Amino acid sequence: MTIHMEVDMSINPLNAIMNPKTIAMVGASNNFTTMGTIQLLNLLHSGFPGEVLPVHTQEKEVLGRKAYREIAELPYVPDLAVLVVPTRLVAGMLEDFGRLGTRHAVIISAGFKETGSGGDVLEKDLVDIADRYSIRFLGPNCLGIINTHLPLNITVGPVRDLNGCLGIVSQSGTYVGQVVNYLHVNGIVPSKAISVGNEANMDITDCLEYLGEDEATKAIGLYIEGIRDASRFLDAARKITPHKPIVAQYVGGTEAGARSVSSHTGAMAGPDHVYDGLFEQAGIIRVDTIEDVYKMGWALATQPPLKGPNIAVLTNSGGPGSGIASTCNRYGLSVPEFSEKVQEDIGAYLPGHASAKNPVDLTFHIDMSALADKIPQILFDADGIDGIIIHGIMGTGFLDMLYPTLKDHIPLSRDEILQMFDVSLDRLTHMPAIHGKPLFISSFMNEKDNFIKAFRKDRIPVFDCPETTAKAMGALYRHLLIRLARHDEPGPTGKAPQEASTILNNVGSGVVDEYNAKRLLSLYGIPVTREELAHGLEDCLDAADRIGFPVAMKICSVHVAHKTEQGMVCLDIEDKNQLECAYRSLREKDSDSNILISEMLAGEREFMAGISTYPGFPPCVMFGVGGIFTEAFHDISIRLSPIGRCDAQSMLDSISASRLIEAYRNMPPVDRDCLEDILISLGRLSLHFPQIKEIDLNPIITVQGRPKVADALIILEDL
C-alpha cells in the first residue's frame, strides 16, 4: 500500500511537511471538546511563525481567526493541509486541496484501513487522489506533528520546551501528542515528533530517512507496531546508526500484541525474534518500554558518545553506588578501581571511612561541593575514565522537605540556609562537552529541586532510579559497539545457476526431496555429505562401496518430512550385513521410494542454518545450534537477505552458545569462513528463488572443524 518513490534525500517531502509557511486547517471549530479544535488551539499557541487558515462550513471565525467556507475559497495555496474531519469527507477535501495546488497534507481523521475491509477501499481512494495530484501526506489515523525548532505543533498537547534534539517517530499518536507533559516533567525535548498513523502514503522509513538527515536531531526514538517493507527500513536504518543512534520499541511480537496492533493501525506484525534480527542487523538499540524510547533516546541525544567501557560512579550512599556498579557490569561496562593518583586526589574530600576506589561513596552530607564539583572535576580529568555517573546531588528538594520542621528551631530563613550550601553546577554541567565524556545523574528528587532544574536546563539527563542511570550508560555503550562494528555491503546477488532453476522448476511446489535439495545446495557451494540415490539392494551396496563404510541410509521422498521420527533413517551402517538389515527395515516402511546412501559423519558439534519467510520481510537467514538442541534451546540468530560477510560473522557471534564455534574442549575451532559462506549462500539462494518458503539444514555436522550439511529440507510455496 505504501507508495515509495526514488527521491533524493534533500527533497524528502517531510522537509516541507515539517516546515510549512502556511497551513490550512479543516475540522477545527469553536467547540473546544473536539480534537481538531484542540489541535488548532495548540498550533496557534505554539509560536508557529507562519500563517494559519481555518476552513469551516458554518463558522465565520474559528478561535478568533477568519474562517473560509470552502477549500476553494482560500486566499492562496497553503503549503500544508491538515484534515480532522469525518471519514467520508476526507477524500473529497484532499482532492479539493490537490486541485488548489497544495502538495502536502496531514490526515488526522480515522476510520480507514484500521477498521477492516470497508476502510481499506476508502484508504486506497486517498492514495489514488494523492498520486493524481502528487500530494505527499502523513496519516490517515495519525495525531499530528511537532517541530520544536520552527516551532510548530499540531497535536493535542501543548509543547512548552523548544529546540530539542531527540527525533520521535511513532505508529501510535499518543506517543507524540499525549506525552508532552510527561516529556516536560522528565526534561526531555523532542526535535521533531511525527505520528505516522496508517502510513498510506508516507511511512516510518520516510520519517527515519528524514530524521537521519535532520541536523537538529541527535538521536532517534521509534515506536513500532509493524513494518511494511523491512528491506527498505533496514537500508535506511543501517545508513544512520553508525553516526546517529536509533532506539526502538516493537510491540507486535506477541499473540496479544499482534492482535492489538492489527486493530489499531492495521499493521502487519511479525514474530519477535525476526524483529530482533532486523534491529541487530540495522544497528538499532531495542528497548522494551516506551519510557526507554524516550529516556534512553534522550541519554543518547544529549551526551557525547562513550569512547570506552570504563565508568566512574560517584555517590553519597553505598546502596545506589552498588546498584549502579552492578548494573553497569550487567550492560558490559566496567567500573574499574581508580589509579592510586586519582584515589589520592579524591581522598582529600572523603570522610575517614569512605571508599575512594570506585564506586566512590562520600556518605551523606548536606554540603554538595565535593559531590557536585570537586570530585567530578578529578574524574573528568582522569585518564582511563570514559563516562561518569553521579548519585545524590540535592538542593531545594531536600531543604523543602526539611524546612517546615526546621524553621521552628532555627533563626534562618529558607533562602539563608540555601545560601550556606550554594554550589554552582555550571562547571559540572559543562564538563561533558569540554571533556567529551557522558554524564548521567541519579536522584530521588524531582524537577522541583534547584539542582535537578539546573541539570535539565543544560540537558544533563537525570533519572529517578540509580539502575536506570546505569542502563542509560549501557545504551551509550551499546552504540559504541554499533559504531565500532565492521559493516560491508552484501555482494551482488547475481543470477541463479541454470541447473538450480531446472531442479526447482521440476519440483514446482511443496517439498524438495533431500537428494535434490542437496544438489541445489552444492550448486551454491554449500558442502553436503557425499551421497548417491539407489533403489534395489544391489544398487545400495554398490553405492555404499563407492562412498565407503560407514554409511547412512534414508528413504528419499517428498512425502516424508520428519524421517527420523518415522524410523526412515538408519545411521552408522558399518558393513554389508548391516546394510542388508537396514535395507529390509526401510523397505518395510516404504517399498517405493528411492534410498539415499550417504557418507556417515563422525561429528563433534552440530549446527543448523536455514531460511524462513514472513510477510513484509525478505527471506530471512537463520543460524543456530543443531541437532536435538535446536528446539530445546531456541538459540537462533536471524538476519534479512541479502547478508554480507559482516552480517554472517555477527550471526555466528550472536547465538548464546557461540563459544561452541571456537576451539572448545579438545575440539579444533570450527571453520568460521565456511559456516559464514553457507549463510551468505543461503541468502543469495533465497533471493534467486522467491518460491522458497523454508530451508532447514539440520544438522550441519563439523568434522575436524569442517562443517558439512548432513540433512536438508527445502519447502516451496504451494502454487
Please give the residues from 471 up to 530 whose contact with its own copies meets the rule CB under 8 A. Answer: none
In the complex, what is the shortest distance from the CB of residue 398 to its own copies, in angstroms, rounded to a whole number?
A: 8
Burial degree of 134 (CB within 10 A; 0-12, 13-18, 19+)? exposed
- Based on the shown chain and the rule CB under 8 A, indicate whether residue 552 belongs to the binding site for its own copies: no
Q: Exactly one of 22, 120, 151, 182 binds its own copies (CB under 8 A); which one?
A: 182
Between 429 and 698, name the residue whose CB sits nearer to its own copies: 698
What are the Cα distances from residue 33, in Å, to 30, 141, 159?
9, 19, 19
Candidate residues 57, 134, 163, 254; the one interacting with its own copies per rule CB under 8 A? 254
Between 235 and 671, CB nearer to its own copies: 671
Q: Which is nearer to its own copies, 173 or 212 (CB)?
A: 173
Tell me how far, at minimum, the Cβ of 254 lies from its own copies, in Å: 4
Question: In angstroms, what is the minimal distance from the CB of 393 to its own copies?
Answer: 12
Least distance CB 76 / its own copies (angstroms): 25
Residue from 78, 173, 438, 618 touching its own copies (CB under 8 A): that is 173
Pairing of strands 166-170, 219-224: parallel
Restricting to residues 75-134, name those near its own copies by CB under 8 A.
87, 110-111, 114-115, 119
**What minimum distance in Å lies between the beta carbon of 392 and its own copies?**
8
Q: What is the DSSP string of 512-532?
A: EPHHHHHHHHHHTT--B--EE
User: Among 402, 485, 561, 663, which residue sits at the site for its own copies (rule: CB under 8 A)?
Assistant: 402
Stretch that binds its own copies, among 240-248, 392-400, 552-560, 646-654 (CB under 8 A): 392-400
Selected range binding its own copies among 14-22, 528-536, 628-636, 708-716, rule: CB under 8 A: 628-636
Q: Contact between 440 and its own copies (CB under 8 A)?
A: no
Q: Residue from 20, 190, 245, 253 that binds its own copies (CB under 8 A)?
A: 253
Among 2, 30, 369, 377, binds its own copies (CB under 8 A): 30
**C-alpha closest to that of 22 among 68, 73, 82:** 82
Contact between 397 and its own copies per CB under 8 A: yes
Which residue's CB is nearer to its own copies, number 376 or number 397? 397
- Nearest Cα residue to 368 out of 294, 422, 301, 320: 422
Please list, in sequence order, all residues whose beta carbon lies within 8 angstroms of the beta carbon of residue 102, skipping any fewer than 6 positions away. 24, 77, 78, 79, 80, 81, 135
Of 222-251, binders to its own copies (CB under 8 A) are: 223, 225, 249, 251
Of 325 and 372, CB closest to its own copies: 325
- Which of 98, 187, 277, 320 binds its own copies (CB under 8 A)? It is 320
Q: Is residue 445 a contact point for its own copies (CB under 8 A)? A: yes
Q: Provide the residue type at 123 as one letter.
A: E
Among 106, 126, 179, 202, binds its own copies (CB under 8 A): 179
- What is the rounded CA–CA span in Å between residue 656 and residue 648? 15
What DSSP designation does 489 have? P
Judged by DSSP in three states, 702 sits in: strand
CB of 248 to its own copies, least distance (A): 13
**171 near its own copies (CB under 8 A):** yes
Look at strands 152-153 and 145-147 and give their pairing: antiparallel
- Say if CB 82 and CB 24 are below 8 A apart: yes
Residues facing 598 on adjacent strands: 531, 552
Residue 325 in contact with its own copies, rule: CB under 8 A? yes
**Smallest gap from residue 193 Cβ to its own copies (A):** 13
For cell 555436522, the residue is 701
In 88-150, DSSP assigns E strands to: 104-107, 136-138, 145-147
Least separation in angstroms between CB 468 and its own copies = 7
Tell the smallest beta-carbon distance from residue 581 to its own copies (Å). Answer: 17
Cβ nearer to its own copies, comparing 335 with 716: 335
366 vs 433, beta carbon nearer its own copies: 366
The three grid cell numbers given for residue 31, joined into one nine-digit string: 467547540
* Candidate segments 74-82, 300-308, 631-639, 644-652, binder of its own copies by CB under 8 A: 631-639
**Which of 387, 373, 235 lies closest to 307, judged by CA?**
387
468 interacts with its own copies by CB under 8 A: yes
Which residue lies nearer to its own copies by CB, 314 or 685?
Answer: 314
CB 662 within 8 A of CB 638: no
- Interface with its own copies (CB under 8 A), residue from 255, 538, 592, 718: 255
Minimum gap (Å) between residue 136 Cβ and its own copies: 24
What is the Cα–Cα distance from 250 to 104, expressed in whole angstroms?
A: 29
Q: Hey, what's the cell of 156?
A: 493535542
CB of 702 to its own copies, least distance (A): 12
Stretch that binds its own copies, among 347-355, 428-436, 535-543, 612-620 (CB under 8 A): 347-355
What's the closest the beta carbon of residue 493 comes to its own copies, in angstroms? 34
Output the smallest distance, CB 444 to its own copies, in A. 4
- Binding string, residues 348-377; x marks residues near its own copies by CB under 8 A: ----xx-x-x-x-x-xx-xx----------
Radius of gyration of the chain (CA): 32
Site for its own copies in 666-695 (CB under 8 A): 666
* 3-class secondary-structure state, position 155: coil
Note whether 328 binds its own copies by CB under 8 A.
Answer: yes
Q: Are 703 and 665 in contact (CB under 8 A)?
A: no
Residue 681: phi and psi, rounded to 5, are -65, -40
SS3 of residue 573 by DSSP: strand
Task: Please give the residues from 256 up to 315 whose contact with its own copies meets the rule CB under 8 A.
Answer: 256-257, 259-261, 263-265, 288-291, 313
* Per-residue cell: 534: 539407489
Figure out which of the listed residues 41, 268, 418, 523 binds its own copies, where binding follows CB under 8 A: 41
Q: Does 444 bind its own copies (CB under 8 A)?
A: yes
Give pairs for 48-53: CB < 8 Å, separation 24+: 48/23, 48/150, 48/151, 48/152, 48/153, 49/150, 50/20, 50/21, 50/22, 50/23, 50/79, 51/21, 51/22, 51/23, 51/78, 52/22, 52/23, 52/25, 53/22, 53/23, 53/24, 53/25, 53/78
3-state SS, residue 677? helix
Residue 209 is placed in which grid cell? 530517512
388 or 685: whose CB is closer to its own copies?
A: 388
Residues 188-227 that bind its own copies (CB under 8 A): 223, 225
Q: In Å, how far are 121, 368, 375, 377, 471 from 393, measured between CA atoms?
A: 58, 6, 12, 15, 19
How many residues belong to the site for its own copies (CB under 8 A)? 117
339, 413, 419, 564: which one contacts its own copies (CB under 8 A)?
A: 564
The dihedral through the CA atoms of 612, 615, 619, 620 has a sign that is negative
Q: Which of 38, 230, 441, 687 binds its own copies (CB under 8 A)?
A: 38
For residue 231, report the phi and psi dihedrals to the nearest 5 degrees: -65, -45
Identified binder of its own copies from the candidate list 70, 341, 633, 704, rule CB under 8 A: 633
CB of 326 to its own copies, least distance (A): 3
Residue 702: name the closest of 622, 627, 598 by CA. 627
634-673 residues near its own copies, rule: CB under 8 A: 635, 656-657, 659-660, 664-666
